Structures are given as C-alpha cells and as structure tokens.
C-alpha cells in the first residue's frame, strides 16, 4: 500500500467566517452575506481543516512529519471545531422544534 505524498504544511490557524460590512439597499433592508452562503463557507473551512488533520495524521504515522506539534495542534483544533459545529446544529434543531410546537 502506498500513501500519496503530502506536501509539508505548517500550522495554519482556523479562521472563523466573518460578516462583511453590510449595506442598506433601496428598500431599507439590510444587505450583506446570505446566511446560507456564510454557513456553506464555514463548512468548507471545517472540511479543509479535517482534510489537513488527516494528511498530518498520515505523515505522523509514516514518520514523514518532522514537527509532531503541528499535528497535535491541528487535531485539537479540528476536535474543537467539530464540537462547536455539533453544538450549533443542536441549537438550530431545538429552535426549529420550538417553532414547530408553537400554536397557530
């Protein structure tokens, strides 16, 4: 079994998505980044972090990783982001269930 070569990358800290400065359109509504787009960007960053963790884990297992602390930091960061994602998901489900139980 061969493992594809992974270019050595240093530690890249996770940058949470940020909202750009919003503007007001002609109707007076606040414009800006769509919530769905913001969520999609966050999930893409989450997936990239998971991929980076997997690559560093392979390097650590094969002995190609010279700085094990890069893997440790990235794995810990991925675990924290996973917990945060699950917490946000749970809160969204709770909010949806609360809305569905409201009388009409």
pLDDT in tens, 32-49: 778 888 888 888 999 999
**pLDDT for the residue numbered 10:** 63
> In terms of pLDDT, which residue wins out, 96 or 4?
96
pTM exceeding 0.85: no
pLDDT in tens, 18-36: 766 655 445 445 567 788 8
**pLDDT for the residue numbered 25:** 47
DSSP letter string over 4-61? ---------------PPPPEE-TTSPEE-S-HHHHHHHHHHHHHHHHHHHHHHHHHHH
In terms of Cα–Cα distance, which of 33, 35, 71 is closest to 53? 71
């Amino acid at each position: 079994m061969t493992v594809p070569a992974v270019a050595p990358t240093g530690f890249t800290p996770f940058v949470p998505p940020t909202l750009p400065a919003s503007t007001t359109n002609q109707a007076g509504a606040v414009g800006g980044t769509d919530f769905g787009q913001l969520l999609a960007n966050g999930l893409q960053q989450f997936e990239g972090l998971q991929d980076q963790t997997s690559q560093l884990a392979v390097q650590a297992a094969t002995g190609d990783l010279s700085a094990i602390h890069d893997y440790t930091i990235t794995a810990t960061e991925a675990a924290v982001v996973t917990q945060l994602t699950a917490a946000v998901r749970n809160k969204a489900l709770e909010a949806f269930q609360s809305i569905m139980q409201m009388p009409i």
